[in-house]
Amino acid sequence: MTAPTKPPHSSPSDALSGASQGEDLHAPVIDWFDAHARDLPWRRPEAGAWGVMVSEFMLQQTPVNRVLPVYEQWLARWPRPADLAAEAPGEAVRAWGRLGYPRRALRLHGAALAITERHDGDVPTDHAQLLALPGIGEYTAAAVASFAYGQRHPVLDTNVRRVFARAVTGVQYPPNATTAAERRLARTLLPEDVPTAARWAAASMELGALVCTAKNETCGRCPIAAQCAWRLAGKPEHDGPPRRGQTYAGTDRQVRGKLLAVLREAHAPVPQAALDRVWHEPVQRARALDGLVSDGLVEPLPGGLFRLPLTPPHPKSP
């Protein structure tokens, strides 16, 4: 992504309101990003739109340090969507490794199939066409259009939502789910200049990832600390609905992960007995396996055998 011409700095103000909100934030945040952005492979020009899309799927609910090695292996094996589309979906699940939430692998495989069939193997540039791909939601379509193609779209991930909640709304955390009010605010804050808007999307996300973090935020390093409504209000504690936790030990997610690990390591169908050994509680184990089958991550075979899927879990979209 090429750095855009930077807008002129605005004078800091303690009250961010109306049209001045975005103008007071854009320049300092983009300048900070220019100086402090991480050198990540999906930000390099050679990544292309497919590399950006792969990264966006992998980074959902997964930290960068866990994504990096899997991303590199994935792009080396499948440098274009058609390369992935030519493989069985189970190979995508296998290559996903222990990133977690493996349905993302199936969705990425489904998107690769659709890109190959509908767009001659090229990730579409049109936002509506991106949104029409299977497995692509509001956030991912906007992120690919913005980060890969330099377009003007509000890109609202958890990090951006937290920055906006604190800097503008004056609360510690955003709501558990994205609201219409957040979308309106994001559109209000979006720079009018297209290249600047794309840079702003990446910069505000990086600020949330590195400085305005969920815990132990470092306001002393923040380029907009002097304008932050939450800091100016004395950093009041969150008083909304309880924030969702990320428990894992003992959950069905953990059992699903153990079952999938057996199947990823095997290159032939696996008997039920091999899966039974990974978890002591039979009811939870059976529930987890049923869920994997229902999600299309595991294919049951005659004779009590199981394997990673060889066929897409759903019919191809028209």
Catalytic residue numbers? 56
Report how far residue 133's alpha carbon sits from residue 144's, in angstroms, rounded to the nearest whole number.
12
271 — phi, psi (to 5°)? -75, 155
Q: How far is CA 185 from CA 151, 161, 163, 168, 188, in A?
A: 18, 10, 12, 9, 5
